[in-house]
Amino acid sequence: MVELLQLPFMQRALIAGLVLGVLLAYLGIFVTLRKMAFFSDGVAHAALAGAAIGLLTRFSPLVSALIFSMLLACLIYWLEKKSSLSSDAIIGILFTSGMALGIVLISLRKGYQPELIGYLFGNILAIRRQDLALIVVLAILIMAFIISHKRKLTLLALDREMAYMAGINPDLYQLLLYVMLACALVLGIRVLGVILVSAILIIPVSTARLFSRSFKALTLWTAVIAESVMIGGLLLSYYLNLPSGAVIVLTGTTVFSLAFLAQAKRRHLGQKKRD
Amino acid sequence: MPPILEVRDLTVRFAGGTALERVSFTIEKEEIIAVIGPNGSGKTTLLKAILGLVPFQGEIRVFAKPIRQVLAQVGYVPQRFAFDSTFPLTVEEFISLTCRSPEKLPVGGVLDEVGMDEFKGKLIGELSGGQLQRVLLAHALLHRPRILFLDEATSGIDIEGLSDFYSTIQRLNREHGVTIMMVSHEISMVYKFTDRIICLNRDLISHGETRTALTKEVLKKLYGDSADLKNHNHG
Q: How far is B143 from chain A (nearest CA, A)?
A: 10
**Edge-to-edge, what's the strand order for the sheet holding B57-62?**
B17-27, B5-14, B57-62
pLDDT at B225: 67
Taking CB atoms and an 8 Å cut-off, how many pairs form between chains A and B?
66
pLDDT at residue number B229: 54
CA distance B83 to chain A (A): 6
pLDDT, position B233: 46
Q: Does A210 touch chain B (CB under 8 A)?
A: no
The structure's pTM equals: 0.86
Contact list, A154 vs chain B (CB under 8 Å): 97
Q: Choose among A166, A167, A213: nearest Cβ to B88.
A: A213
State what percent of residues in chain A have pLDDT above 90: 58
Which residues of chain A from 42 to 81 reach within 8 Å of chain B, CB to CB?
Answer: none
- Interface residue A215 vs chain B (CB under 8 A): yes
Type and span of the H or E element at B21 = strand B17-27
Give yes or no for a contact between B223 and B66, defined as CB atoms under 8 angstroms apart.
Answer: no
pLDDT per residue, tens digit, chain B (235 aa), is 778 999 999 999 988 788 898 899 999 888 899 998 888 888 999 999 999 999 999 999 999 999 999 998 999 998 878 788 889 999 999 988 875 554 566 777 788 888 888 898 999 999 888 888 888 888 888 888 899 999 988 777 777 778 888 888 888 898 888 999 999 888 888 888 889 999 888 877 778 888 887 777 777 777 776 665 554 444 3
Distance, in angstroms, between A205 CA and closest chain B CA?
10
Strand partners, B60: B7
* Low-confidence winner among A80-89, A108-117, A149-158, B4-13 (lowest mean pLDDT): A108-117
β-strand partners of A160:
none
CA quadruple A154, A160, A166, A168: dihedral, nearest 10: 80
Integer CA distances (angstroms), A269 to A255, A259, B193, in order: 21, 15, 48
Nearest to B98 among A166, A212, A215 (CB): A166
Q: Does A33 touch chain B (CB under 8 A)?
A: yes
Q: Which of chain B's residues have a Cβ under 8 Å away from the Cβ of A171? A: none
A274: pLDDT strictly greater than 70: yes
Mean pLDDT score across all residues of chain A: 90
* Nearest-by-Cβ selection for B99 from A161, A167, A213: A167
pLDDT of amino acid B142: 84
| Cα–Cα distances in angstroms (integers) from residue A19 to residues A14, A26, A191, in the given order | 9, 11, 11
In this predicted model, what pLDDT tens digit does every residue of A202-223 receive, in sequence order?
A: 999 999 999 999 999 999 999 9
B219 Cα to chain A: minimum distance (Å): 32
Please state the ipTM of this predicted complex: 0.82
Are A214 and B53 a contacting pair at CB < 8 A?
Answer: no
User: Looking at the partner chain, which of A155, A209, A216 has a beta carbon nearest the beta carbon of B97?
Assistant: A155
pLDDT value of residue A72: 94
Other C-beta atoms lying within 10 Å of the C-beta of residue B6: 17
- Chain B, window 78-107: residues with a beta carbon less than 8 angstroms from a chain A beta carbon: 78, 81-84, 86-90, 93-94, 96-100
pLDDT of residue A120: 82
Q: Summarize the confidence of residues A239-245 as an average pLDDT.
A: 89
In angstroms, the separation between the Cα of residue B46 and the nearest Cα of chain A is 15
